[in-house]
Amino acid sequence: MSLKIDLDGQTALVTGASRGIGRDIALTLAEGGADLVVVARNVDPLDDLAKEIGERGQRCVPVAADLNLPESWEEVAERAWTEMGPIDVLVNAAGVIVRREPPDVTLEDFDSTFDLNVRATFFLTQAVGRRMLEAGAGSVVTITSVAAGTVTKAPVTYQASKAALVQMTKALAIRWGPTVRVNSVAPGYVETDMNRDWLADPDNRRWLVDHTAMQRVGEPSDVSGLVAYLASPLSSFINGQNIVVDGGWNTL
């Protein structure tokens, strides 16, 4: 028996869609039949992504926006609704990591991390969620991190920002259920641009594989499949959860 995640007739808005996990999520949702609004700061990779999604038979609107700017949140939500109609799924995949040791973290480092990872995520979710509540349905999926619940050597500001997103997810789920479901996905170490330099060190990669039950590094597709599930009616009774996708890293 095969179980296909069917997103036919749904429209999803994905931030951080120009690369890495966000890009793979957009493609996976399109593969399931969803139309897309893809958001990132740089327009060129978005145009390439929109073309690829179009070749798969789905509509896609690329939106270049700097989510650090307060005016962008309502603008992105309004444009999505105007050009594509009601948005059924919001995926918050935009994020930043500033690699600095605690004694060296500056106020600018702190603010840039929390401005995008927390502030922008909340207020875009507010803008989109308000419309979902009015429409009577919706699903929000936010990308957090295994570092949100398991202390790692990742930058302190990054870990704190992702932990804030987990609590935000649970708080919104309580307030918006049963109309809008709100969940988050916490990836472990995944082959992305963000982790490229760290994973390029053979010692780091060996340590990671040795401490992961699945004995490998994660791929973006390991995350995007779960996001597609949470976006679909198959997960209709899952709400307020932060689901870890780390190949068993935090169990060893």
| Residue 4 covered by a domain | no
Q: 3 falls in which pLDDT band (50, 70, 90)?
A: low
- Average pLDDT estimate for 47-54: 98
- The mean pLDDT of 17-33, rounded to a whole number, is 98
> Nearest Cα to 188, choosing from 154, 160, 156?
154
The number of distinct structural domains making up the chain is 1
Displacement of CA 212 from its chain's centroid (Å)? 22
Q: Is the pLDDT of residue 1 over 50?
A: no
- Here the tokens at position 212 are 């992961």
Is there a domain that residue 231 lies in? yes
The per-residue pLDDT for range 130-188, each reduced to its tens digit, is 999 999 999 999 999 999 988 888 899 999 999 999 999 999 999 999 999 999 999 99
State the pLDDT at residue 181: 99
pTM of the model: 0.95
**Is 213 domain-assigned?**
no
Q: Which residues pair with 187 in a beta bridge?
A: 245
- Within 95-134, strands assigned E span none
As a whole number, mean pLDDT of residues 193-211 equals 91
Residue with tokens 């931030």: 15
Please give the share of the chain, as a percent, with pLDDT higher than 90: 92
Going by pLDDT thresholds of 50, 70 and 90, the confidence category of residue 228 is: very high
Q: Which residues participate in catalysis according to the annotation? A: 158
Residues 39, 94: contact at Cβ < 8 Å? yes
The answer to the question of residue 252 being in a domain is no
What integer is the mean pLDDT of 42-52? 97
**Identity of residue 221:** S
CB atoms within 10 A of CB 68: 15
- The greatest distance separating any two alpha carbons of the chain, rounded to the nearest whole angstrom, comes to 55
Q: Is the pLDDT confidence value at 57 over 50?
A: yes
Dump pLDDT digits (tens) for 85-121.
Answer: 999 999 999 999 999 999 999 999 999 999 999 999 9
State how far the Cα of 103 lies from the Cα of 244, in Å rounded to an integer: 30
Q: Is residue 211 part of a domain?
A: no
Residue 209 lies in a domain: no
Q: Is residue 210 part of a domain?
A: no
Report pLDDT for 250.
85
d(CA 186, CA 105): 24
Rounded to an integer, the average pLDDT of 203-220 is 94
CATH number of the domain that residue 130 is part of: 3.40.50.720
Q: Containing domain of residue 122, as a range?
A: 11-190+219-245
What per-residue confidence (pLDDT) applies to 4?
Answer: 77
Question: To the nearest whole number, what is the mean pLDDT of the chain?
Answer: 96
> Which residue is associated with the tokens 């996905």?
185
Q: What is the mean pLDDT of residues 237-251?
A: 96
**Could you tell me if residue 199 is inside a domain?**
no
Q: Is residue 226 a contact partner of residue 32, using CB atoms and an 8 Å limit?
A: no
Evaluate if residue 42 carries a pLDDT over 50.
yes
Least confident residue range of 50-54, 63-67, 206-210: 206-210
